[in-house]
Structure 1
Amino acid sequence: MPVTSTSATDARRTGGRIVTFGIVAIVALLAFAGGLLMLTLPDGNAFNARVERIFVEQDLTAQAEVKLLEILAQSGTAFADTLASYRMVIFVLLIFAAAMLVAALVFLVMLAGMNRRMAQIERSGIQVSSLIISREENMVYLNTMGFKLTAAMIETLSVLAEARMDDEMLTGAQIEAVISGRDASDCEEAAGATRIKRLRDGLGNQMVSELLVRNIARKGYHLAIDKDVIEVV
C-alpha cells in the first residue's frame, strides 16, 4: 500500500503560490479601486475653463466685473492645486494599503504554516530534523541529542537507515540477513525482531531519560515537563 506524505518542499511551493496569487489579487484590486477613484474625481481645470468661457462670451468692460473674474480664476487655480494634492495623498494611501495587505497575507500564510507544523509535531511526538549515525563512536545523534548504543544496535539502526533512504521496508529475516551476511531464507524472523527490540529498548530508555525522566546527580529524579500539562485521571 503506498504511503501518502506531504513533503516540506511541496508545502513551501503551495505557500509560495498562495502568496503570489494573493499579492497579484491585492495589487489588481487596489489598482482598479485607485483608477476608478482617480477617474471619478472632478477635473481641476474645469472651473478655470468655465471662467474663461464666461470671460470670452460676455462683454465685460467694468473694472469690478473683470476683478471678479480674476478672483474666480485664482479660486479655480487653488481648487486645481488642491485636487492635485488630493490625488497624491490618495496614491500614497493606496501604496500603504497595498503594503499592509500584502504583509498581512504573508503573515497569515506563515501562521497557517506554523500551525500545520505544530499539529504535525503534536501528532508525531518528536520531530526528527537530523539523524547522524557514527559507527566509530557507536553514537547516534538525533536532532541535538546524542545517544550511546552498542555496536549491534548501531548496525541495526544503520540497516534501517539505509532501507529508509532507499524507500524500502525490511522484514526481521531480511534485517538479520543483512547484518549477518547470510541468505534471508536461512534467517529467522525472530532474530531480526529481537534486534529491533534491543534497539528500541536501548534507544528508547535513553530518550526517555533525556526528554522525560531526568536524573539529577545526588538529588533524585523528576519529570522534565511543565507541571501545568500534567493531568491524572
Structure 2
Amino acid sequence: MQDNSTSVTDVRRHGGRVVAIGISAIVAILMIATIVLLLTLPDANAFNERVEQLFLENDTLTGQAEIKLLEILAQSGTAFADTLASYRMVILVLLVFATGMMIAALVFLIMLVALNRRMAQIERSGIQVNSLLISRDEKTVYLNNMGFKLTDAAMETLSVLAEARLDDEMLSGVEIESVISGKSAIDCEEAAGATRIKRLRDSLGNQMVSELLVKNIARKGYMLAIDKDVIKVL
C-alpha cells in the first residue's frame, strides 16, 4: 500500500485548504509590498529642502560660481522630484496590475471551490448520468455515450421506467408488470415486476462493471481498469 495514494475526498479537502491559504497569501503579499514601497520611497521634496537649507545657512555664498552651483543643485532637486513622481506613477500602475492579478487568482480559487463541490457531488452519487439514450432498433441503451446491449424484456422494463421518469411518476412492481404484459393490474403480482427490475439491474450492472471496472484482456486474463494509486485496502 503506497502512502501517496489519493482519493476524490482527499483532493476535495486539500482543495479547500489551498483556497484559504491562497487567499491569505495573496492579501498578505500585496499588503506587505505596499507598505514596503511606501516606507522605502524617499520624499520627492527632500532634495529641494536640503538645497534651500544650504541657501539659508550659508550667507557667505555670494560669489558668481557659488550661486551658479546652488542653482544647478536646485535644478537637480527639481529633476529628482519629477523622477520620483514618475516612479510613483509606475508603482501605482504595478499595484493596479497586482490587484488585477489578485482578482484573477480569486476567480480561479472560486472556480476551484466550485469544482471541488462538483467532485463531492459526483463522489456521493457514484456514476453521474449525463445522458440516457434508448435505441429499440439496436436493442442498446447508451449511458453517457457508453453502449450496453439488453434483452427485449430488459429494454421494455427500462423504457417503461424512462417514460415514468419523464412524467415524474413512480411505478410499483404491479404497475410495471401490467404496462409491459398488457394485463390488468388486478391480474399482476408485485413479484413479477420486481423480477423484471432485478433482471434489468443484473444485465446492465454486469456490463457496466465490465466496461468501467473489470477489464478482460483477450488470452491474458482480467484486471481492474482503474489507476493503482486510488486503491486502498483497510
With the length of structure 1 as denominator, give the TM-score of the two structures: 0.67
Residue equivalent to 2:83: 82
Contact 2:44 2:80 in 1 (8 A): no
The equivalent residue for 1:3 is none
Q: Partners in 1 of 2:105 and 2:214 — Cα distance?
A: 42
**Cα 1:183–1:47, aligned 2, differ >3 Å: closer, same or farther?**
farther
Secondary structure of the structure 2 residue equivalent to 1:133: strand
Please, what TM-score do these two structures have when normalized by structure 2?
0.67
Is 1:145–2:153 an aligned residue pair? Answer: no
Check if 1:218 corresponds to 2:219: yes
Secondary structure, in 3 states, of the residue corresponding to 1:215?
A: strand
Quote how far apart the aligned CAs of 1:218 are. Answer: 2.2
Aligned equivalent of 1:163: 164
Q: What are the superposed Cα offsets for residues 28-53 of structure 1, whole Å, 9 maximum, x if unpaired?
A: x99xx89xx7xx99676x949x96xx
Q: Which residue of 1 aligns with 2:192?
A: 191
What is the CA deviation profile of residues 156-204 of structure 1, one whole-angstrom value per residue up to 9, with x for unaligned ones? 1122222223333222222223333445454322222111111001101
Q: Which amino acid aligns with 1:150?
A: T
After superposition, give the CA deviation of every residue in 1:126-150 in whole Å (9 maximum; x if it has no partner).
1222221111111011113210001
Q: Give the C-alpha shift of residue 207 in structure 1.
A: 1.0
User: For residues 41 and 211 of structure 1, do their structure 2 counterparts lie closer, same or farther at Cα, with a shift above 3 Å needed?
Assistant: same
CA RMSD of aligned residues (A): 3.5
1:92-135 alpha-carbon deviations (Å, 9 max, x no partner): 21122112212211221122222222222222221222221111
Superposed displacement of residue 230, structure 1: 4.1
Aligned to 1:11: none
**How many aligned positions are there?**
195
Does 2:176 align with 1:175? yes
Whether 1:73 aligns to 2:74 is yes
Corresponding position of 1:13: none
In 1, Cα distance between the equivalents of 2:86 and 2:186? 87
**Aligned residue for 2:124?**
123
Question: In the alignment, what sits opposite 1:208?
Answer: 209
- Which of the pair has the greater relative contact order for Cα pairs under 8 Å at 6+ separation? 2
Q: Report SS of the residue matched to 2:169.
A: coil
Corresponding residue number in structure 2 for 1:16:
none
Native 8 Å contact 2:160 2:176 kept in 1:
yes
Partner secondary structure for residue 215 of structure 2: strand
Percent same amino acid among aligned pairs? 73
User: How far did 1:88 drift?
Assistant: 2.0
Any unmatched runs of 5+ in structure 2?
A: 1-22
Structure 1 position 228, deviation (Å):
4.4
Alignment-derived partner of residue 154 in structure 1: 155
Task: Give the match's secondary structure for 1:159.
Answer: helix
Distance (Å, rounded) in 1 between the aligned partners of 2:124 and 2:206: 21
Residue identity in the other structure for 1:92: V
What stretches of structure 1 of length at least 5 have no aligned partner?
1-21
SS at 1:168 equivalent: coil
Partner of 1:170: helix, strand, or coil? coil
